[in-house]
Structure 1
Amino acid sequence: MNIEQYGWNEIWMKKWNQEWNTQEDGRSYVPGRIVGDFGSKYRVLAETGETWGELAGKFRHSLHEKGEFPAVGDWVALVMQDEGAHAVIHGVLPRHSVISRNVAGSTQDEQIVASNVNTLFLVSALNNDFNVRRMERYLIMAWNSGANPVILLTKADLCENAEEQIADMERAAPGVPVYAVSALLDQGREKLLPYIGSGQTVALTGSSGCGKSTMVNWLSGKNLQLTQGVREDDSRGRHTTTHREMFVLPDGGIIVDTPGMRELKLWEDEGGLDLAFGDISEWAASCRFSNCSHEREEGCAVLEAVQSGQLDEKRLLNYRKTQRELQFQSSKEAKAKRKVASGTGSSKTSQSRTRGYGWRKELDEY
């Protein structure tokens, strides 16, 4: 196994030459990719093969936020030790996409799900756990990441009205590919081939029990990941996958499996809200007032769309709820930054990276 099979190409080589080929500290650095995140340690893939890696002390102390730490999918600078049996991570190459969420609980901190991903498979099972409103939130995360979203509706063999649920999901995700698949019946794999070809990195995300690990095994043709059944009463699953890990597929692509999410707390918005609710944004352009809140104003084109049946009221309610959540989070971040600027808060440095719309043209090159 070599790093080219894990996505290394001329573009990454150019970044490497700009960042690490001119180091003059006497160390011999080599590029590698994070293929497994186990908390305090990482599995890394370098030209010499796969091995365990850990952060260099100086590098660790330079990191102040969770979002700055290496994540699955990152290309990193390594110093190999013990003839390749161990690696020390000294830095991370600039990311071209970052899938992130806010950590669970009341803490305000970024958690990286995966990085340098071309396509994000948003997975939802066609059983009692099917939830259009939840998928709208996943779409915001996807559009903010810079990866291209694709919705996979798994367990199609368990659904008698799959066409109806596919139509519901397509209405909630205008312009986003939606595929119903069944690993049990081996149906739908050919539709996914364009996303899992050589050099492509795809990540899976969704709630527990939606079938992500089953998808990894199905697409790879091997039992790479442990799978478990779901509770019959509510179709909810248990956390089968406990860490983030990357695998090479027989079609040449790379797939990242991630733990299921009990809840998705969104991180900062970089235009993902407007992209996920593109239909509402289009109607909003015709509102009488430019600052229309779409709640009770006269001449609101969005409310007129609801009244005429063109827009599902539940979709609008979810839009309002999510918008308020992101605005509240943004205000908390702004308050924290003001504290830092005034000297009353702790100073934090942020890894330079392109977010949102800015990296979509660059992403097409990978």
Structure 2
Amino acid sequence: MNKLETIGWDSSVQDIDKENIARVIAVQKNSYRILDGEMEYFSHLSGKFINQALTSLDYPAVGDWVEVQKLPKEQKAVIHQIQPRKSQFVRQAAGTKTEAQIVAANMDTVFIVNSLNHDLNLRRMERYILSTYESGATPVIVLTKKDECTQEETDLIVAQVEEVAIGVPIIPISSITQEGIEELMTYLPAGETAALLGSSGVGKSTLVNTLIGNKVQETKDVREADSKGRHTTTHREMFLLPNGALLIDTPGMRELQLWEGESSIDATFQDIETLESECKFTDCQHDTEPGCRVQEALANGELLEERFLSYLKLQRELAYEKRKQDQKAQLAEKSKWKKISKHQKDNYKHRKKR
């Protein structure tokens, strides 16, 4: 095994000079920590890289493979290029600007972490599942703090989650009693990368410490009154587990605004998609049309109204985001050609003066 394979290098990746390849293991603002399988380096982006980056998606994220120039004596490096990603979890950045934010890259699995207390939110879970399918990774639901619930309560919550996480593995665990940890590890084989995603206070950092067997992440208690978590992880970071798997921990997300997901909505809502295919008319609006299978399922309780409304809401949200992104792309293109035109005019004036 070469040194890059110890940090998740996939041997099927195109043949390139591996000597100058490293993996991004932490991102803090404009600073990047990278690892080449032997040594860590603090790195920054080359001027050419910055000039050629057009959007936030062009910048390195935790999990990325990058081409670098190493300065071993100073333990520093310069990042020149990102290798093509096999997966990327993207969300709409918080705030009002239309901008993508990469949460993690090149992961095989996404652990969608919820706690078995008041944090459980099925509608939010649907968003995470949709974004995970869109990322190119495989979703797994992890329900933490099993030690705080009875078996009956756990079974009830798992049954609720099964209704929205169709075909997705669901693993209730306890970082205190270690229950469920062995099953979780079956989704963390050596050489593969997983990312932990979820709200603050659901136990992501505690889980990282449990899996590593050492306190590498700070943890804080959850407020008793509303089970709201407090931010502990402040940046994204990748850890190497004792068995050779890699785990990306991420700060808690208060909200998950969708960036894309049109191609994965059918996998996330396959129950509704199946019902729609059984409607009498192919262009059924699921309103007052005769022979509407969706309305029939809503009436007899086969399909919950909350889930159907969530499906419609996410479709509207994705359509709205697409319109905003298209509008931004048009403005960016217009701005680019204005700059080119101005540059050409300036050159023409300069030549005339000569």
Deviations 1:198-221 (A, max 9, x none): 111000000111111111111111
Distance in 1, Cα, partners of 2:236 & 2:37: 21
Deviations 1:170-208 (A, max 9, x none): 111110000100011110011112211111100000011
Corresponding position: 1:154 with 2:144: yes
More displaced stretch, 215-224 vs 70-79:
215-224
How far is 1:271 from its partner?
1.7
Cα contact 1:139–1:272 (8 A) shared by 2: no
More displaced stretch, 297-306 vs 93-102:
297-306
How far is 1:293 from its partner?
3.4
Which structure's relative contact order is higher, taking Cα pairs within 8 Å and 6+ residues apart?
A: 1
Which of 14, 33, 37 is the equivalent residue of 2:23?
33
Corresponding position: 1:135 with 2:136: no
Letter matched to residue 89 of structure 2:
I
Distance in 1, Cα, partners of 2:37 & 2:157: 45
Aligned counterpart, 1:124: 114
Identity %, equivalent residues = 43
Cα contact 2:262–2:318 (8 A) shared by 1: no
Please give the TM-score of this superposition, normalised by the length of structure 2: 0.90
Corresponding position: 1:313 with 2:314: no
Aligned counterpart, 2:254: 262
Which of 180, 184, 194 is the equivalent residue of 1:192?
184
Which of 329, 332, 343 is the equivalent residue of 2:321?
329
Distance in 2, Cα, partners of 1:58 & 1:305: 57
| Count of residues in Structure 1 that have an aligned counterpart in Structure 2 | 335
Change (3 A) 1:233 1:293: farther
Letter matched to residue 39 of structure 2:
G
Q: Secondary structure at the match of 1:195?
A: coil
Q: Secondary structure at the match of 1:83?
A: coil
Question: Which residues in structure 2 correspond to 1:1-366 (within 5 Å)?
Answer: 2-12=3-13, 14-15=14-15, 17=16, 30-83=20-73, 85-160=75-150, 161-340=153-332, 343=334
Please give the TM-score of this superposition, normalised by the length of structure 1: 0.87
Q: Secondary structure at the match of 1:10?
A: coil
Q: Secondary structure at the match of 1:114?
A: strand
How far is 1:70 from its partner?
0.4
Q: After the TM superposition, which parts of structure 1 deviate over 4 Å for at least 4 consecutive aligned residues?
A: 344-347
Change (3 A) 1:195 1:346: farther
How far is 1:340 from its partner?
4.6
Q: Secondary structure at the match of 1:94?
A: coil
How far is 1:136 from its partner?
0.7
Cα contact 1:98–1:116 (8 A) shared by 2: yes
Distance in 2, Cα, partners of 1:346 & 1:329: 24
Q: Secondary structure at the match of 1:271?
A: helix
Change (3 A) 1:193 1:105: same
Q: CA RMSD in A?
A: 1.8
Change (3 A) 1:247 1:289: same
Change (3 A) 1:277 1:31: same
Cα contact 1:198–1:251 (8 A) shared by 2: yes
